[in-house]
Structure 1
Amino acid sequence: MQENLTEWGKNIETVTLPRWDELPDIELYMDQVIGLVGRYLSPILTTQKQALLTKSMVNNYVKLELIPAPVKKKYTRVHLAFLIAITLLKQVLTIPEIKTGIIYQGRASGIQKAYNIFCETQENTISIVGKQAQGLETKGLFTQKIELEYLIVTAACTSLATKLLAEKSIELTENLSIAKEEDTHEL
């Protein structure tokens, strides 16, 4: 089990999210957006049993005013940034909580800066749990004061990172239990 957890930790420790300037600066169709979000997030959300993002989800996010409506059925980097953040955050927060957090962070920092801060914070927290999974010493998640305007994003990203570690540990424990049961039955 420890070998698998260490390997997972090595893989997830170096995960990166695309920054604002790395997102496509062209208009995209729904299928392209869904494909890109899936590609960007698949290294992080590896154990999903359902689609990370669907057309219905995107349409619901528009109806709930979580993301702006597309123009002539085309989506921009603004949509991509929102959908990346929402897809990750919905792993640990409710849609109303995400909406409140996105509105707050967007007003506090502006959409572009808020998105880049989210990406950096998420990468940092995932890197820490990746190191913990490898059995490496870490300085912890909250070693310095967090400014109030970044408290929401930091807490949400930390929740997701630790949830990923818990899920992977549970998955490996279940696999180990199944393997032991199979060995017992063979005897």
Structure 2
Amino acid sequence: MDELQADIYEWGESLVHFHLPRWDELPELDLYMDQVITLVDRYLTPVIRTDKHTLLTSSMVNNYVKKGMIPPPEKKRYTRRHVAFLVAITLLKQVLTIQEIKDGILFQGRVVGIRNAYNLFCEEQEKAVQHVCLQAMGKPEQTETEKIAVEYLAVKAATASFANKLLVEKVIEMESQYLEKGEHND
């Protein structure tokens, strides 16, 4: 069991400093579809296993446009705003329905504006991932001391849901590998 614990610790340690690009870190230049997909993939592969979950495809992007989740591209080019939406959608679709994501994005955008909503989402997602990484590392949990404003409850809960799902998947995967090793050693 010590080997399993060490592997889980190592996984937590590898992601404890996970970073999502803030609005001002996203490309200023407009991008083509394949560039957007590559960029979103680079941002999210540390936390979404591409062998289990498809990150983003051109048909997904086109569907998000059709559903009104992201604005249509201009002359087949995508802006920083598109990339921000796609990062959030790709993470959130791991734990929410498309309609819930659309409603949540529209709500947060109206409350604090798209730029601030995106930055808040990134900050909360990083905190949630860090929290589960610390759990994996056996570090004491830090509890919230501030009251959470009602308009931020959905963001906090969704990001925590994704992070917890990430941890559960990793622990189950490692436990299965550990059991397989144990069976072969007997």
TM-score (norm 1): 0.95
Displacement, 1:11?
1.1
1:165 aligns with 2:167: yes
State the partner residue of 1:118.
Answer: 121
State the partner residue of 1:70.
Answer: 73
The amino acid across from 1:61 in the alignment is Y
The amino acid across from 2:160 in the alignment is T
CA distance change for structure 1 residues 74 and 47 in 2, over 3 Å: closer, same or farther? closer
Displacement, 1:153?
0.4
1:88 aligned counterpart, secondary structure: helix
Residues 128-183 of structure 1 deviation map (CA, whole Å, 9 limit, x = unaligned):
1111100000113x443110111110000010011111111000011011111222
Displacement, 1:52?
0.7
Distance in 2, matches of 1:55 and 1:132, equals 36
Q: How does 1:1-187 map to 2 (within 5 A)?
A: 1-46=4-49, 48-140=51-143, 142-184=144-186
1:108 aligned counterpart, secondary structure: helix
Distance in 2, matches of 1:60 and 1:162, equals 27
Distance in 2, matches of 1:62 and 1:81, equals 14
Residues 61-85 of structure 1 deviation map (CA, whole Å, 9 limit, x = unaligned):
1111111100111000000000000
The amino acid across from 2:134 in the alignment is K
Q: CA RMSD in A?
A: 1.1
Residues 20-53 of structure 1 deviation map (CA, whole Å, 9 limit, x = unaligned):
0000011100000000000011111136424310
Runs ≥4 residues deviating over 3 A: none
Distance in 2, matches of 1:120 and 1:16, equals 9
2:35 aligned counterpart, secondary structure: helix
Distance in 1, matches of 2:50 and 2:137, equals 19
TM-score (norm 2): 0.95
Distance in 1, matches of 2:141 and 2:59, equals 40
The amino acid across from 1:102 in the alignment is I
Higher mean C-alpha deviation, range 131-140 or range 40-49: 40-49
Of all paired residues, the percent bearing the same amino acid is: 56
2:47 aligned counterpart, secondary structure: coil
The amino acid across from 1:177 in the alignment is L
